[in-house]
Amino acid sequence: MRGVWGSMEGLMYTLIAAFLVLVAVVVVLSFIPLGLWISALAAGVRVSIFNLIGMRLRRIPPNRIIIPLIKANKAGLGLIGDKLEAHYLAGGNVDRVVDALIAAQRAEIDLGFERAAAIDLAGRDVLQAVQMSVNPKVIETPVVAAVAKDGIEVKAKARVTVRANIDRLIGGAGEDTIIARVGEGIVTTVGSARNHEAVLENPDSISSTVLEKGLDAGTAFEILSIDIADVDIGRNIGAALQSDRAEADKRIAQAKAEERRAMAVATEREMKARVEEMQARVVEAEAEIPMAIAAAFREGNLGVMDYYALRNLQADTGMRQSISDLGPDDKPRRGSEGDLTE
């Protein structure tokens, strides 16, 4: 029995040791990318196993460096792993930079690793930029509304063919600037046209005039052509402005006329008030006449005969006034007491 138990304990210890060795091998192989090291050696890339271990310690995934390094070595770029590691630690996309360098080499574009890395770190897609240098991109502008000199609105849409300028990718303006400048050029060109018919007859004059302005200065692109895709007629802005101006002038004239009318009404009312005031004064003065006559009688300055002569004079004056007020067809008639009445 003791021999059986001893053999079983030995077998158990052997299995445990084998399991621990297997776990250790798995841990070592997971930490040391042995398969990646073999692939690099097979591709002719000289990289030591200790360098791969160092990448693990620097928290760099070895496949992010070794695979692009293999592609660069096969393309004959002559890159070293240290530069790729530095670019990865700086936050760049190593695989995209290497693909861009390979595409630039095939297209015979002068692009070095330092410039490609700088473009990638600047936030631009360096691979897309290289592809745009080979295959230009078409940017379609939104509908741009402009007004010719005759007041007619012209709506135009343009297609701008651009090519990436590698030398100006760092610090150069993007597509939004190109669209804004082309729109500004369309507005300026249409606004300088004598009428909208000239624009409709020669839409290519817009593209040629805009293209001559050098709109790609300071941008990351080179404008190859500007083509007018569509031209439509909009509203009659000039007539609308003239109508609005006439309406505004009419309102101003009406306001001024109303002001003058209000002033005239106020003046009329003021004059009526003055007339009534003067009439009141006349009535007041006439009311003092009997008092003055009575005072003249008391003081002896006026006699009875003088008073009757005054009354006769007043009656004669009233009769003459009545006769003068008669029209050419009116005839005086004698009343019951012999006075003249109408």
Which residue ranges form the domains of the chain, and what is each CATH number?
Answer: 32-134 (no CATH), 140-240 (3.30.479.30), 303-342 (no CATH)
DSSP assigned state of 195? S
Predicted local confidence at residue 341, as pLDDT:
41
Please state, in angstroms and rounded to a whole number, the distance separating the CA atoms of residues 118 and 98: 13
Q: What is the mean pLDDT of the chain?
A: 79
Confidence of residue 8 (pLDDT cuts 50, 70, 90): low
| Cβ atoms of 196 and 148 closer than 8 Å | yes
Predicted local confidence at residue 4, as pLDDT:
52
Indicate the pairing of strand 152-164 with strand 221-236.
Answer: antiparallel
DSSP assigned state of 167? G
Buried b (16+ CB within 10 A) or exposed e, 123-154: ebbbbebbbbbeebeebebeebbbbbeebbbb
Q: Residues 226-284: pLDDT tens digits?
A: 888 788 887 877 777 778 888 888 899 989 899 888 999 998 899 999 888 888 888 88
Confidence of residue 19 (pLDDT cuts 50, 70, 90): low
Q: Which tokens hold the place of 192?
A: 């300088």
Residue 338 has pLDDT above 50, yes or no: no
Grouping H, G, I as helix, E, B as strand and the rest as coil, residue 335 is: coil
Please state, in angstroms and rounded to a whole number, the distance separating the CA atoms of residues 239 and 237: 6
Predicted local confidence at residue 37, as pLDDT:
73
Nearest residue to 43 (alpha-carbon basis) of 64, 78, 67, 63: 67
Residue 335 has pLDDT above 50, yes or no: no
- What is each CA distance from 321 to 228, 312, 316, 339, in whole angstroms? 93, 14, 9, 14
Q: Which tokens hold the place of 126?
A: 């360096």
Confidence of residue 120 (pLDDT cuts 50, 70, 90): confident
Predicted local confidence at residue 213, as pLDDT:
78
Other beta carbons less than 10 A from residue 65's beta carbon: 25
Confidence of residue 7 (pLDDT cuts 50, 70, 90): low
Nearest residue to 47 (alpha-carbon basis) of 58, 61, 57, 62: 62
Please state, in angstroms and rounded to a whole number, the distance separating the CA atoms of residues 273 and 279: 10
Indicate the pairing of strand 221-236 with strand 333-334.
Answer: unpaired
Confidence of residue 129 (pLDDT cuts 50, 70, 90): confident
Confidence of residue 188 (pLDDT cuts 50, 70, 90): confident
For residue 139, the one-letter residue type is I
Q: At what angle do helices 113-121 and 94-106 cross, to 10 degrees?
A: 130
Residue 99 has pLDDT above 60, yes or no: yes
Grouping H, G, I as helix, E, B as strand and the rest as coil, residue 292 is: helix
| Cβ atoms of 154 and 199 closer than 8 Å | yes
Other beta carbons less than 10 A from residue 311's beta carbon: 10
Please state, in angstroms and rounded to a whole number, the distance separating the CA atoms of residues 292 and 282: 15
Q: Residues 26-74: pLDDT tens digits?
A: 555 555 666 777 777 777 777 777 777 777 777 788 888 888 888 888 8
Other beta carbons less than 10 A from residue 5's beta carbon: 9
For residue 331, the one-letter residue type is K
Confidence of residue 327 (pLDDT cuts 50, 70, 90): low
Confidence of residue 10 (pLDDT cuts 50, 70, 90): low
